[in-house]
Amino acid sequence: MKAFQYATALTTDSARELVADNGMYIAGGNDLLGLLKDYLVTDPKILVNIKSLPGMSQIEPGDKMWTIGALVTVADLEHDAGIAKVFPGIHDAAMEIASQQIRNVATVGGNLAQHSRCWYFRHRDIQCLKKGGDMCYAREGENRYHCLFTGNTCISPVVSSLGTTFAALDATAIVLRDGKEKRMNMAEVYHLAWENPLAHNSLRPGDMIVRVEIPTARSRSVYMQVSDKHTFDWALVSCAAAAEVTDGMLSQPRVALGSISPVPHQVEAANNFLDGKSLDDATVSAAADMILKDAKPLEHNAYKAPMAHALICRTLLQLKGNA
């Protein structure tokens, strides 16, 4: 990697000042160090350690809303008894992330902001569209892990399991931008990646995710993924669903899928369709059809459509089941 300065910030203001125009924040560093070692990010002149920023490492319960600090580790989420009870989907998503060692240092903010895992993007000797090159190699190439949906030429999917789950829970990320707090839902956090191949989320240089707020309006949530392997493997497809369930009837249902689009894949029409429904096999299958309707499979990733269909049905049926 190239040489850089390193500083530890004690306030968000000083962090922003230190990072200036050409620095980057570092917390767990899992993603950033990999990018630096393979020369994949624009050379930061300074890495600003934000792990000592106060008040960002707590999980705070609340009646209407829980707050999760951006520096809370994935392991914290996994082991928090309150999260497991109130947001079982978050618990399950956290458990599936990487390995125990990585979960111990990976943070919520870093998980949301992590970069593309596309093997063309990550390859040191390939200058692909996402790196400012002139073509997406995956489109006509090895695209087994890539998108069924995209709004641009790049087909690298979002892989944040937490982003997918937060989307289903209608969570809000609070992003510090130019000294002000900006509230973004998950669609907004990732929107830019939908239209711009150079982006992997909507954050601007100097933006810092400081916390995530999760409404308690949906008492049930589920997360599932399918990978090639049983653990420590990326999802081929992931799916999260959340809703309130009263007498078997859903209210405020939300479904989101990961690893099939540059953004957590959500179809409002399907959410509306499910609202007020009592779930059975036919209903969940119809919802899955709606969610996957405009999928555009490529040569090697068409399997993701039936896999996603199965996961949508399973998460919804489990939503109904896990009282």
Q: Tell which one of 75, 93, 175, 226 touches other proteins (CB under 8 A).
A: 226
* Residue 175 and residue 192 in contact, taking contact as beta carbons nearer than 8 Å: no
Is 6 one of the binding residues for other proteins (CB under 8 A)? no
Size of the site for other proteins (CB under 8 A): 35
Stretch that binds other proteins, among 14-22, 23-31, 87-95, 223-231 (CB under 8 A): 223-231
Is 302 one of the binding residues for other proteins (CB under 8 A)? yes
Distance, first Cα to last Cα, the chain: 50
Is 137 one of the binding residues for other proteins (CB under 8 A)? yes
Q: How far is the CB of 9 from other proteins (least distance, A)?
A: 25
For other proteins, the binding residues in 235-254 under the rule CB under 8 A are: 236
Q: Which H, E and C letters describe 134-191, residue by residue?
A: CCCCCCCCCCCCCCCCCCCCCCCCCCCHHHHHHHHCCCEEEEEECCEEEEEEHHHHHH
Q: Which residues of 172-202 are buried (b: 16+ CB within 10 A; e: fewer)?
A: bbbbbeeeeeeebbbbbbbbbbbeebebbbb
Is 131 one of the binding residues for other proteins (CB under 8 A)? no
Is 64 one of the binding residues for other proteins (CB under 8 A)? no
Q: How far is the CB of 306 from other proteins (least distance, A)?
A: 4
Please give the helix or strand (H or E) that residue 103 lies within, else none. helix 100-105
At a CB cut-off of 8 Å and minimum separation 6, what does 15 contact? 9, 25, 48, 50, 53, 208
Angle between helices 281-292 and 304-321 (to 10 degrees): 140
Stretch that binds other proteins, among 190-198, 224-232, 255-263, 281-289 (CB under 8 A): 224-232
DSSP 52-79: T-TT-S-EE--SSEEEEETT-BHHHHHH
Is 40 one of the binding residues for other proteins (CB under 8 A)? no
Is 206 one of the binding residues for other proteins (CB under 8 A)? no
Q: Nearer Cβ to other proteins, position 70 or 307?
A: 307
Q: What dihedral angle (degrees, nearest 10) is formed by the CA atoms of 77, 79, 80, 83?
A: 60
Is 43 one of the binding residues for other proteins (CB under 8 A)? no
Stretch that binds other proteins, among 215-223, 265-273, 276-284, 294-302 (CB under 8 A): 294-302
Is 41 one of the binding residues for other proteins (CB under 8 A)? no
Q: How far is the CB of 248 from other proteins (least distance, A)?
A: 23
Residues that bind other proteins (CB under 8 A): 1, 117, 119-120, 123-126, 137, 140-142, 144-145, 226, 228-234, 236, 297-300, 302-303, 305-307, 310-311, 314
